[in-house]
Chain A
Amino acid sequence: MRIALRYAGIYAVFMTLGLSVLYWTSNRYVDEQIIAGLHQRMIELVHIDTAKGRDNLITALNAQQAGNVKLQRHFLLLSPEHQKLEGDLQAWPPDLKIDGHVVNVWIAGKLISEQSTADGYWPMLAETLADGSRLLLAQSLDQAEELQEVILYTIIIILLVSVGLALTMGWFIGRTLLARIDKVSMTAKAISSGNFSQRVPLSDRNDEFDELATQLNNMLTRIEKLLAGMRQVTDNIAHDLRQPLSRLRNRLEITLLEKRDMLEYQQVLGETIEDADELIRTFNALLEIAQTEAGSLRGEWQTVDMTALLADLGELYQELAASKDKHLLINVQQGLKVTGNHHLLAQAISNLLDNAIKYTENKGRITLSAKQHAKGFVVQISDNGLGIPYEKHSLVLERFYRLDTARSTTGNGLGLSLVKAVMDLHGATLKFADNKPGLAIYLHFESATKGTKV
């Protein structure tokens, strides 16, 4: 509301200034018209006097008086001896000089004309005629003043109406537009106090305010998502890291309960280090997922030769597969490139290869292939192992989620979460499919993408 009042005030000031200028210029225009009129008439009268004689002049002067009541011109014709010959003015004003200029001379009404009550400065023009007579032309200001009054009243009315309008508009803006800003600030207030599910309400007008609200809401959604992710990490730490920590602690405590021989101590310490390493690994994985999801690992963004990366990792895992009596087949096209983080991409692919080898039976067959595609390329990792039931496809991407069939194997349930985060960061999509039997995973990259996540 304050804004509305202030703008109405500013508007009123400008209106007043503008209309004052208008008033002043219109007054000036009227004055100029009067002056020009007097000069013009004087030239005509002098011409009549010289060309047609004094009688004609007097006729013309009287005719002017009779015909142009509205014009309200007055005159005085004096003989060379300063005797009044003709005219409705009583006497020659003492200050008036004959210099061809229109001057404003103070007239006390009665002195000039018996009827006139118009005291004031009248514009006058005097001229000496050929025979030495003098002619005075004066303009009564009654009419001009009337005109100026009309202009002034009009201006005052316009001013009042427009300031009134401005105030109404301001009030209206306050009621509607500013009320919408108030909604935004109310939402912000609610969020500051911790209610992150709040959103700025949208109107159906689809205007700039709605655009702003939509952008704000998008931002809020992203923030809420990041916060939820963070909360999930802390929950995970509380739940999934506390348990192994307490196990580790218990074992040490029990070992200390009674005296044991050296070998036993060594064994317990060795196991404890292994457990600690496992914890560190889990912790690192959680951190990496969180950082990847938040998009904070984008510093070293570079062109990654996916063909080389896949071939290298493939070779590394081929040997691992062979040692477990499984077969990894590699079929990677040349020239596949993506803009991204080499380290994260390698980690993601290695997680998938690791899973594929882990969850296939002996003599299992795994393929790693990559092919150029319409707008990019697809990396496919498929196996003939246990697969993932369709209804669990989105669950396995969540942190720490492990299929019942996987619980007997080692792992922390974070591998696929990281893969998903890395794919999102690179603007790539991850899809599961049934390989009948087994699992097929498709990673769809757009070539040399910048990644869509900000």
Chain B
Amino acid sequence: MRILLIEDDKQAATYLVKGLAESGYSIDHAADGEQGLDLALSEHYDVLVVDRMLPKRDGLSLIRMLRADGNTTPILVLSALGEVDDRVDGLRSGGDDYLIKPYAFAELLARLDALVRRRTATKTVTHLKVADLELNLLNHKVSRAGQLIRLQPMELRLLEFLLRHAGQVVTRTMLLEQVWDLHFDPQTNVVDTQISRLRSKIDKDFDKPLLHTLRGIGYKLDELA
């Protein structure tokens, strides 16, 4: 996996390059908007990480240039501007995801992973499956080991999201944003209780747990622990 990081803050860049390299990504770094644009246009990357405020050319204009050029590489926008309007701006200009500084590194990793995989998994499917857990998207029937499981609409949405991101780490904020369309950080962890309820339905009566909690990071639906 090749990542292009366009970030002018040296310390942040060093830290990200190191962290992403340790996580198995191969990473290029550009320190300003012009250099970033050149690299993005001349090389092939799986995902771009673009800081919003950059010298020479700001992040949003860089993204617009790329998109106008027909480049569809997924882009994660990083920004210290945290208002909802700023997020909307970032996504409208062609970014695929938006992360507000300061953020947890695990959050960044999870989102990058989701962006990269989304590209390969956009074809329409009728069945989602992990191990013996199966969701039929046509009739919304859930079964595990052939046993039918009844889910509430909200649980169904949550399970679908987890299945689509099977094997990936999904964070609480990702779930809140994409399952509930809530863009804020609730004081109490409301997602945990939703996960517990889902877990009690899909994991409780079976030997092998599929829905794992990664402490302090998020959740993962996977055959392997």
Residues in chain A within 8 A of chain B (CB atoms): 270, 273, 276-277, 280-281, 284, 287, 291, 297, 299-300, 312-313, 315-317, 319-320, 322-323, 341, 343-344, 346-347, 350-351, 354, 357-358, 410-411, 415
Contact = CB atoms under 8 A, between A and B. Distances in A.
B85 A319 contact: no
Contacts, number: 63
Contacts of B119: none
A316 B180 contact: yes
B188 A357 contact: yes
A280 B102 contact: yes
Given A351-B187, A354-B186, A319 B193 contact: yes
Interface string B178-192: 001111111110100
B88 A316 contact: no
Contact of A316 (B83, B183, B194): B194
Contact of A350 (B102, B184, B193, B216): B184
Interface residues of B, number: 23
A281 B102 CA distance: 10
12 contacts: A273-B104, A273-B216, A284-B82, A291-B83, A299-B88, A300-B88, A312-B182, A317-B190, A319-B190, A322-B193, A323-B196, A350-B186
B203 to A, nearest CB: 16
Contact of B184 (A277, A299, A300, A346): A346
Interface of B: 82-85, 88, 102, 104, 154, 180-188, 190, 193-194, 196-197, 216
Q: Which 6 A-B pairs have the closest CB atoms?
A: A299-B85, A319-B193, A343-B84, A323-B193, A347-B184, A320-B193
Contacts of B182: 312-313, 343, 346, 350
Contacts of B85: 297, 299-300
Contacts of A300: 84-85, 88
Contacts of A346: 182, 184
A284 B185 CA distance: 10
A312 B184 contact: no
Contacts of A315: 154
Contacts of A284: 82, 185
A415 B184 CA distance: 13
Contacts of B188: 320, 354, 357-358
Nearest to A287: B82
A318 to B, nearest CB: 9
Nearest to A270: B216
Nearest to A341: B84
A411 B184 contact: no
Contacts of B83: 291, 297, 299
A422 B154 CA distance: 27
A347 B188 CA distance: 12
Given A317-B190, A343-B184, 4 more contacts: A300-B85, A320-B193, A343-B182, A354-B186
A320 B184 contact: no
B80 to A, nearest CB: 11
Contacts of A299: 83, 85, 88
Contacts of B197: 319
A315 to B, nearest CB: 6
B91 to A, nearest CB: 12
A343 B187 contact: no
A280 B101 CA distance: 10
B81 to A, nearest CB: 11
Given A319-B193, A320-B193, A411 B187 contact: yes
A445 B88 CA distance: 26
Best-buried of B181, B186, B216 by chain A (most CB within 10 Å): B186
Contacts of B196: 319, 323
A189 to B, nearest CB: 36
A425 to B, nearest CB: 13
Nearest to A351: B187
Contacts of A343: 84, 182-184
Nearest to B105: A273
Contact of A312 (B84, B88, B180, B185): B180
Nearest to B191: A316
A341 B85 CA distance: 10
Contacts of A410: 187
Nearest to B101: A280
Nearest to A284: B82
Nearest to A346: B182
Contacts of A411: 187
A343 B85 CA distance: 10
A410 B188 CA distance: 9
A346 B183 CA distance: 9
Contacts of B154: 315
A320 B190 contact: yes
A105 to B, nearest CB: 91
B154 to A, nearest CB: 6
A304 B7 CA distance: 36
A287 B194 CA distance: 29
Nearest to A323: B193
B185 A281 contact: yes
Contacts of A317: 190
B5 to A, nearest CB: 22
Nearest to A280: B102
Contacts of B216: 270, 273
